[in-house]
Amino acid sequence: MKKLFSLVLISSALLFTACSSCSKQEQQPADDFDVPTEFEQKLTEHDTAKVKELVEVFLDHLRHERYYDAAGMLSKLQHLGDQATPMEYDNDDIERFVSVHKMFDVEDYSIEYIRFRESKQNEVCVNVIMRRGQNGQKDITTKFFLNPIFFNGSWELVLDDSPTGTKAIVPAEKRDSMKHVYEDSQKAPVAK
């Protein structure tokens, strides 16, 4: 009987400890993605408007087949050790960009979301309509990602792709919710 009582007491203590550690884990954010960075906290509506304007001008160049103008807006990140410095596209980068993007029509586009994290690690998800669907067919669309970076007091665009070392920052499973957050923020009245 004494052993049974001790076993019940120990089991209860373990259960209580396990449950209290579970509740502590639930109170913490799922990952760092959900916690605003110091950089994010310093941004204003002006930063969002500037990034949105840059992206729209870039996409309008593509839509109107001004590929060289679009390429001229892009930078690439040059990695030197743990530092990344934006560099303008060189002639080879521009020609590669133009040859690739001439193959894809841009009839229309929409910004799905803008997500800021750090000065050189941000993300704009763009939905591009390459061809409107006809006779009840769906539009032919694609998505691509831009990395707006804040360097020397201004915003620049980097095309997200693996050769330049950029990568998406919004986890795939959170992209739908980011779209809704962005849409809601665009509906909110602007404080002056």
**Contact criterion met (CB below 8 Å) for 52 and 157:** no
Domain locations in the chain as residue ranges? 36-187
SS3 30: coil
Looking at residue 17, its amino acid is T
SS3 45: helix
Diameter of the chain measured on Cα atoms = 86
**Contact criterion met (CB below 8 Å) for 121 and 165:** no
Q: Which CATH number, 3.40.50, 3.10.450, 1.10.287, 3.40.1390, labels domain 36-187?
A: 3.10.450
Model pLDDT, residue 160: 66
Residue 38 in tokens: 């110091």
CA dihedral 153, 53, 119, 122 (to 10 degrees): 180
- Per-residue pLDDT of the chain in tens (192 residues, 90 and over written 9): 444 444 343 444 433 334 444 444 444 444 566 788 999 999 999 999 999 999 999 999 999 999 999 999 999 988 887 788 889 999 999 999 999 999 989 999 999 999 999 999 899 999 999 999 999 999 999 988 899 999 999 999 998 654 444 455 666 666 555 555 656 666 665 554
Q: How many CB atoms lie within 10 A of CB 122?
A: 25
